[in-house]
């Protein structure tokens, strides 16, 4: 019996297994041999990495921490919270889970020539109209709703981090302050409930009042890029203590080169995330007039020289003959660059 026990302990020692009963069997990320592609340097938050072997996603930066999941070889992760490694481990996001993985088996990912994110949710997101009936059939008029493009684009981008766009509880929503308030009821059809939460209820710790847009005037004049970035990080992080530097940073349109835009789009899309951009609609194919607007860039095709985007404004808000409720639009990469720089704000990536 004693020999059997010693044999069992020897096998455990050789395998390097420190997992508790019921934990997933993980790849050994504490090996003494290192990969030629191992990462040890500081990377930008949001950088897209790929695993070079099966790799543990752990709860902390070391092999003593428990394993959340085993990322298969070739799995794509994004750097979050910290640009550099801690004890050789990078804080990464993998399929909605945040954890730590060893740089021994990570490399900077090479973006493909083309990729478009899944459109099954984002192509259906449409902002509530400025007048009509809510989800209970009650008539309303609220001109603030015509300017909820930033909450709409933010909802689209966040759908790649969580399931709130399709699972937010139905309820009554009301402006948190301002000269005009109306109560309307919305469910998850067209992601209305979560979009209205972003518009009228969301409150990152640095906000003095709830809601992404400013409601100081009626109708609202919209949302700032800085506030959009903060809401993206607050919601994408799951309200983590490190939310402010979780993933998104704002990029100014001032001096923006088409190369920088292209690199940012390829990096985020290849990592599975969307970019929220403030644009001049005069350059968008689904508009026939000029105004400041927010969209979500969800794809690129370098062979065709195009970007793919979703516009949650809807046909009634847009007013152009070619406008639709939902859907995916494609635009020349050069025109998207002009649309962003012409408006002059920038984008969150």
Is the fold of 18-108 the same as that of 115-348?
no
CA distances from 345 to 149, 166, 292 (A): 15, 29, 9
CA–CA gap between residue 225 and residue 231 (Å, rounded): 10
pLDDT range class, residue 28, cuts 50, 70, 90: low
**By the 8 A CB rule, do 140 and 184 touch?**
yes
CA distances from 286 to 16, 181, 313 (A): 57, 31, 10
Q: Which fold has domain 115-348?
A: Cathepsin B; Chain A (3.90.70)
Phi, psi of 5 (to 5 degrees): -65, -45
Q: What percent of the chain has pLDDT over 90?
A: 87
Q: Using one digit for the tens of pLDDT, what is the confidence trace for 323-336? A: 999 999 999 999 99
Model confidence at 134: pLDDT above 70: yes
Q: Which fold has domain 18-108?
A: SH3 type barrels. (2.30.30)
pLDDT range class, residue 317, cuts 50, 70, 90: very high
pLDDT of residue 205: 98
The ranges assigned to domains in the chain are 18-108, 115-348
Q: Using one digit for the tens of pLDDT, what is the confidence trace for 51-107? A: 999 999 999 999 999 999 999 999 999 999 999 999 999 999 999 999 999 999 999
**By the 8 A CB rule, do 96 and 273 touch?**
no
CA–CA gap between residue 293 and residue 285 (Å, rounded): 13
Place of tokens 């516009």: 311
The β-bridge partners of 133 are 139
**By the 8 A CB rule, do 319 and 130 touch?**
no
pLDDT of residue 40: 83
Neighbours of 205 (CB within 10 A): 10
pLDDT range class, residue 244, cuts 50, 70, 90: very high
CA–CA gap between residue 289 and residue 154 (Å, rounded): 23
Model confidence at 212: pLDDT above 80: yes
Q: Using one digit for the tens of pLDDT, what is the confidence trace for 278-314? A: 999 999 999 999 999 999 999 999 999 999 999 999 9
Q: Using one digit for the tens of pLDDT, what is the confidence trace for 159-207? A: 999 999 999 999 999 999 999 999 999 999 999 999 999 999 999 999 9
Model confidence at 231: pLDDT above 70: yes
pTM value? 0.90
Model confidence at 24: pLDDT above 90: no
The overall average pLDDT reported for the chain is 91
pLDDT of residue 38: 73
CA–CA gap between residue 139 and residue 133 (Å, rounded): 4
**Cα–chain center distance at 135:** 27
Q: Using one digit for the tens of pLDDT, what is the confidence trace for 142-158? A: 999 999 999 999 999 99
pLDDT range class, residue 37, cuts 50, 70, 90: low
pLDDT of residue 27: 60
| Phi-psi region at 100: left, alpha or beta (left = phi > 0; alpha = psi -120 to 50) | beta
């Amino acid at each position: 019996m004693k020999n059997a026990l010693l044999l069992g302990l020897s096998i455990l020692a050789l395998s390097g297994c420190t997992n508790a009963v019921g934990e997933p069997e993980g790849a050994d990320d504490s090996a003494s041999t290192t990969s030629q592609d191992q990462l040890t340097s500081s990377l930008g938050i949001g950088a897209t990495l790929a695993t070079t072997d099966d790799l543990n996603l752990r709860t902390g930066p070391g092999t003593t921490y428990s394993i959340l999941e085993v990322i298969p070889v070739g799995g794509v992760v994004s750097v979050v919270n910290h640009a550099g490694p801690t004890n050789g481990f990078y804080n990464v996001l993998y399929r909605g889970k945040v954890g730590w993985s060893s740089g021994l088996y990570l490399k900077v990912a090479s973006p493909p020539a083309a990729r478009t994110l899944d459109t099954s949710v984002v192509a259906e997101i449409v902002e509530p109209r400025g007048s009509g009936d809510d989800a209970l059939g009650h008539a309303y008029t609220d001109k603030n709703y015509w300017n909820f493009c930033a909450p709409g684009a933010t909802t689209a981008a966040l759908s790649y981090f969580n399931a709130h766009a399709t699972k937010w509880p139905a309820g009554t929503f009301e402006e948190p302050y301002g000269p005009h308030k109306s109560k309307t009821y919305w469910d998850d059809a067209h992601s209305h409930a979560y979009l209205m939460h972003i518009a009228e209820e969301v409150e990152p710790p640095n906000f003095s009042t709830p809601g992404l847009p400013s409601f100081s005037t009626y109708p609202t004049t919209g949302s700032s890029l800085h506030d959009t970035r903060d809401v993206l990080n607050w919601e994408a992080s799951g309200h983590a203590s490190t939310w402010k530097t979780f993933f998104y940073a704002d990029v100014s349109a001032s001096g923006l080169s088409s190369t920088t835009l292209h690199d940012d789009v390829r990096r985020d899309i290849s990592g599975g995330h969307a970019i929220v951009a403030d644009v001049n609609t005069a350059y968008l194919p689904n508009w026939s007039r000029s105004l400041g607007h927010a969209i979500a860039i969800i794809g690129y095709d370098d062979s065709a020289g195009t970007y793919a985007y979703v516009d949650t404004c809807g046909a009634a808000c847009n007013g152009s003959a070619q406008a639709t409720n939902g859907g995916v639009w494609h635009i020349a990469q050069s025109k998207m660059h002009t649309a962003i720089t012409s408006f002059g704000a920038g984008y969150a990536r």
